[in-house]
Amino acid sequence: MKKITIVLALIVASFTGYAQVQNYNLGDIVDDFTVTDIEGNEHNLYSITAQGKYVFLDFFFVDCVPCQTWQPTFSELHDKYGCNQGEVYCLSINRGFDTDEQVIAYEEMYGGPFNHAPAASGDGGSAAVDTNFGVSAYPTFCLINPNNEIINLDIWPLTGVETFEAAFPAGFEPEPASCSILNIGDQAQVFNFSVYPNPVSSNEMVSFKLSEPSEGTMKVYSISGQQLYARSFEGQVVQLEVKLSSGTYFVSIESELGTSNKSFIVK
């Protein structure tokens, strides 16, 4: 299932190639807006882009199952690139029917163990932004450049945080600056590793390949942050036979290279 689309009532949207932001075309300058997130902080688009930042918007509502599935991946993007302190800025915009209290509960349940991107509910003025963009399906992820031009109308389908990274325009290569390691322990040097296959089927083998041989510990967490599995390893490739139900999970690798984490999906 791709997304949940609103046409008088909620229906399930099929996979299509149509943009989910209806009121803008690629390259259009978007209107300025200000929203207040669930923690009481204001976010003004033009002030953010004036700092040279690329802005990812996540349009969602709390009962949207695909939104729930991919919320931790958006949190991972936000976390990986410095929690809005670097060149990437992530902001979740509610459809406008949900309150601060409902969005807080949603983030706690589905935001995953990374630091969550700021989220604005209907209480914080999100409905006007949703209407201005003409969002027709949820979740919709779009990207705005520092010139306030919308350069991606619908980042989809997702396979992981790498789908958001693939939306970076040519020449834009922000440095990861993770502001947490699964919200556990102290910060450490961040390194890269690959996950394959992703998604993976239950009872299959998933592999985590480091940039170079090392030794350390691999841990797997549920979407709520519960540790499900841990093992030590030595070498460049760490393998795990998947004995998990369908859903999104997180792997944290602590090694001589540093500490890093990624999400993977069990289908």
Provide the 3-class DSSP secondary structure of residue 151.
strand
**pLDDT band at 190, cuts 50/70/90?**
low
Residue among 167, 71, 157 nearest 115 (CA) = 71
pLDDT > 90? residue 16: no
For residue range 127-149, list pLDDT tens digits in order: 999 999 999 999 999 999 999 99
Pairing of strands 193-196, 150-152: unpaired
Domain(s) labelled CATH 3.40.30.10 in the chain stretch across: 3-166
- Residues 217, 79 contacting (CB under 8 angstroms): no
3-166 CATH pick, 3.40.30.10, 3.40.50.10860, 3.40.50.300, 3.30.470.20: 3.40.30.10
For residue range 223-243, list pLDDT tens digits in order: 666 788 899 999 999 999 988
Determine if the pTM surpasses 0.85: no
Percent of the chain with pLDDT over 90: 62
Give me the architecture of the 193-266 domain, per CATH.
Sandwich (2.60)
**pLDDT band at 14, cuts 50/70/90?**
very low
**What is the phi/psi pair of residue 143, to 5°?**
-130, 130
pLDDT at 3: 61
258 CB burial (10 A radius; 0-12, 13-18, 19+): middle
225 CB burial (10 A radius; 0-12, 13-18, 19+): middle
Query: Mean pLDDT for the chain?
Result: 87
pLDDT > 80? residue 183: no
> What's the whole-number mean pLDDT along residues 3-22?
50
> Strand ranges (DSSP E) for the chain?
3-7, 9-13, 34-36, 42-44, 54-60, 88-94, 119-120, 137-138, 140-144, 150-152, 193-196, 205-221, 227-241, 247-255, 258-266
- State the CB neighbour count (10 A cutoff) for residue 166: 10
- Taking the C-alpha atoms of residue 267 and residue 46, their distance in angstroms, rounded to an integer, is 39
Q: Which stretch of 70-79, 124-133, 170-179 has the lowest confidence by average pLDDT?
A: 170-179
User: Tokens in use for 193?
Assistant: 């590793």
